[in-house]
Structure 1
Amino acid sequence: MFFKMRLLAPILIVSLCLFSCSEYQKVLKNDDVKAKYDLAQQFYDEGDMKRANRLLEQIAPKYVGKPQGERVMYFLADTYYQRKDFNMAGYQFERFVKSYPKSDKVIEASFYGAKSYFELSPRYSLDQTDTDKALAKLQNFINAYPDSEYFNEANAMAKELTTKKEKKAYEIAKQFNKIGEFDFTFLTPAVAAFDNFISDYPGSIFREDAMYYRFESASHYALNSFEVLQQPRLKEAKEYYATLKKQYPETKYADKADALLEKIDKQLLGFVAQEKAAK
């Protein structure tokens, strides 16, 4: 008996699946909006977001201005989100918020709309247009709903995106510094890029690194300049060293920075000796 039941179980499952598919295709093709609504609700509750989404797409325009319209529009947005179609999810959640600003779901929709854009943010090395958009959406949410249950998660996502943008800006400056090892003309834009980074991201986790590499870029640029241009550039590099040590007295770059400073001081002493000899 048990063996027979084991044989029957897969058959029953297949039969139910075939019936479900048949019912879905039948409802999908007819014009009965209520039948589509009920079946979409069933699929949504069962976690079948693909079929729920297809049905909701069809009936959403029919429910505009009707009592069920709010529910249909929210479920439609959520099915896109659950299917990881974050472009459409973000768009539909925004539509929901604009259409139903007094809804009980408006905070949740605002959050998941912003989170959809967060999910679209690419890795730091790529164009960060979507990251900027996501940051703006998250900041709007944080400002609008500081007491929301989603506040901490929104803050964490905003911080992650900010760090991603910082890393991109830092790596661009670092690349100038790296190329400058072979072509000293790149050290001037390296210093400028690190300057901009330090100014734009005062609380960045890369701030110490940026300050050191600004000093390193300026030092190498000064030390490899024509003698007539060296002295003011060496003094400028020393100022960057002083800023680094003031901000980070125990900097992890102390050994490298001190070694560079020694070269700069030695070169500057040579200019002092020349000036004395000229007198």
Structure 2
Amino acid sequence: MFFKMRRFIPVVFVAMAFYSCSEYQKVLKNEDVKAKYDMAQKFYEEQDFKRSNRLFEQIAPKYVGKPQGERVMFFLANSYFQRKDYNMAGYQFERFIKSYPKSEKAPQASFLVAKSYFKLSPTYSLDQTDTDKALTKLQSFINAYPNSEYFAEANMMAKELTTKKERKSYEIAKQFNKIGEFDYTFLTPSIAAFDNFISDNPGSIYREDALFYKFDSATRLALNSFDALKPARLKDAKEAYAALKKQYPETEYEKQAKDLLEKIEKELLRFSPNTEAK
């Protein structure tokens, strides 16, 4: 009897799944808006966001201006989000906020707009348009809803995106530094890029690295310059070293920095008055 029951149970589940699918297709194709609404809500509550999304798509225009319209539009937007269709989710949540600015769901919708763009933000090496959009939306949410339950998460996301943008700027400057090993003309834009980075990102986790590689670029530029330009550029390099040590007295680049400084001091001896007299 037990083995017969074991064989029977899968058959029951298959039959139920077939019936559910059949009912879904039937409701999907008919014109009964109420039936679509009821089934869409049922699937949504069961977290079957694929099928609920399709039904909400069909009925959303029918509920514009009606009491259920707010609920339908929010569920439609969130079903896109749950399906990881973040482009459509962001678009639909923004529509929801414009249509229902005083809704109790408006703070959550505002947060999910920002989170949709956050999810679309690519790796640091790619175009950061969606990152900029996400930061703008997150800042708007943070300013508008400082007491929201999503406030802490929004701040963490903003910090992560800010760090990503900082890394992109830092890596661009470092790329100039790397190319400068083979073509010294790239060391000037490297120094300028690091200067901009240091100025624009005072609290960055890459600040120490940027200060060191600015010093590295300045040193190599000075050492490979014509004699007429060397004294001034060696002085600039020493100032870059001083800036690194002032902000990071125990820098992780201590050994490399001292090695570079020794080269600077040795080269400066060539231009000292005592050396020339001898």
When the two structures are superposed, what TM-score results if normalisation uses the length of structure 1? 0.97
User: What is the aligned partner in structure 2 of residue 45 from structure 1?
Assistant: 45
Query: Partner residue of 1:34?
Result: 34
One-letter amino acid of the structure 1 residue matched with residue 131 of structure 2: T
Which letter maps to 1:54? R
| 1:28-81 deviation line (CA, Å, top 9, x unaligned) | 111110000000011111111001000000000000000000000000001000
Shift of 1:4: 1.4
Match of 1:142 in 2: 142
User: CA RMSD, aligned part only?
Assistant: 1.2
Unaligned runs of 5+ residues in structure 1 are: none
Which residue pairs with 1:197 in the alignment?
Answer: 197
Paired with 2:230 and 2:274, the residues of 1 have a C-alpha distance of: 13
1:211 matched residue in structure 2? 211
Q: CA deviation at 1:263?
A: 1.1
Aligned partner of 1:175 in structure 2 is 175
Q: Shift of the alpha carbon at 1:275?
A: 7.3
- SS of alignment partner, residue 229 of structure 2: helix
Deviation at 1:259, TM superposition (A): 1.3
| Aligned residue number for residue 247 of structure 1 | 247
The amino acid of 1:4's aligned partner reads K
TM-score normalised according to structure 2 size: 0.98
2:109 matched to 1:112? no
Partner of 1:21: 21
Whether the 8 Å contact between 2:142 and 2:151 is mirrored in structure 1 is yes
Mapped to 1, the partners of 2:82 and 2:103 lie a distance apart of 21
- The CA deviation at 1:5 is 1.3
**Offset at 1:277?**
2.6
Distance 1:18 1:120 in 2: 36
Deviation digits for residues 174-204 of structure 1 (CA, Å, limit 9, x no counterpart): 1111111111111111101101110111100
Please state how far the C-alpha of 1:210 moved relative to its aligned partner.
Answer: 0.1
Question: SS at 2:270's partner residue?
Answer: helix
Q: Give the percent of matched residue pairs that are identical in Structure 1 and Structure 2.
A: 73
Given the alignment of the two structures, is residue 7 of structure 1 paired with residue 3 of structure 2, yes or no? Answer: no
Amino acid at match of 1:55: L
Q: C-alpha distance in 2, partners of 1:15/1:134?
A: 45
**What residue number does 2:63 align with?**
63
- Partner-residue secondary structure (3-state), 2:124: coil
> Alignment length, in residue pairs?
278
Counterparts of 1:143 and 1:32, CA distance in 2: 43
2:97 corresponds in structure 1 to 97
Q: Which runs of 4+ in 1 moved over 3 A?
A: 273-276
In structure 1, give the amino acid aligned to 2:22.
Answer: S
Q: Does the 8 Å CA contact 2:270/2:276 hold for their aligned counterparts?
A: no
Give the drift of 1:249.
1.1
Match of 2:186 in 1: 186
Q: Distance in 2 between matches of 1:109 and 1:266?
A: 63
Matched, 1:165 2:165: yes
Deviation of 1:274 after TM superposition, in Å, equals 7.0
User: Can you give the 5+ residue segments of structure 2 that lack an aligned partner in the other structure?
Assistant: none
The residue type paired with residue 272 of structure 2 is: V
Following superposition, the deviation at residue 273 of structure 1 comes to: 3.7
Contact kept? 2:90, 2:114, Cα under 8 Å: yes
TM superposition shift of 1:114 = 0.8
CA distance in 2, matches of 1:44, 1:255: 60
The 3-state SS of whatever aligns with 1:228 is: coil
Q: Which residue of 2 aligns with 1:226?
A: 226
Displacement of 1:276 = 4.6
**Partner SS state of residue 26, structure 2:** helix
